[in-house]
Amino acid sequence: MAWPTAQIIISRQQYIYSFGYISTRSGWELFSFDGELVRKTSWIRDYATASIIRNVSDFKGGENYLIAYICSPSGKGWECGCIDNGDCNHWTIAEFYLEPECQEGKIRCEGSDKTMLCSDGIWILKERCEEGNICSASDGGCV
């Protein structure tokens, strides 16, 4: 399964560095943003996208991240990665979440009315509980 396109939309008069990093099981990996470079620099103005084609197995289950470096012109020059006035030079971080890998044959509840089964590395619907029954967290079955 491939990872979809990531879009970074920044405000007018902001610039994004044309390279960012994404967290993988192997550590931080470089990727490039698509967009029109400003006068043969490494900066893109206002809008950038990135198509990051990876297997889901390249990421750990749970929280993962990508980071970008964003700057804005100011009366004093450039403000890059600012959290507050004067607290600058930080990367901007975006979080994405992947369902933790499942173990073959494991059963779990999804909501109160569905029993899910791990099959071929993905969670599939095993059964929907009949009206009046709920999924039991202790055994993943309807009671």
Tell me the whole-structure pTM to 2 decimals: 0.65
Is residue 55 located within the same domain as residue 116?
no
70-73: long-range contacts (C-beta < 8 A, 24 or more apart)?
70/10, 70/14, 70/15, 70/16, 70/17, 71/14, 71/15, 71/16, 71/17, 71/43, 72/11, 72/13, 72/14, 72/15, 73/13
- 54 and 116 belong to one structural domain: no
Q: What is the pLDDT of residues 46-101, one digit of tens each?
A: 888 888 878 777 888 778 899 999 998 888 888 899 887 778 899 988 888 777 67
Q: What's the pLDDT band for 15 if we cut at 50, 70, 90?
A: very high
Q: How many residues does the chain have?
A: 143
- Domain hosting residue 81, numbered range: 5-98
The tally of domains found in the chain comes to 2
* Mean pLDDT score of the chain: 83
Q: Are residues 114 and 74 in the same domain?
A: no
Q: Note whether 37 and 31 are within 8 A (CB).
A: no
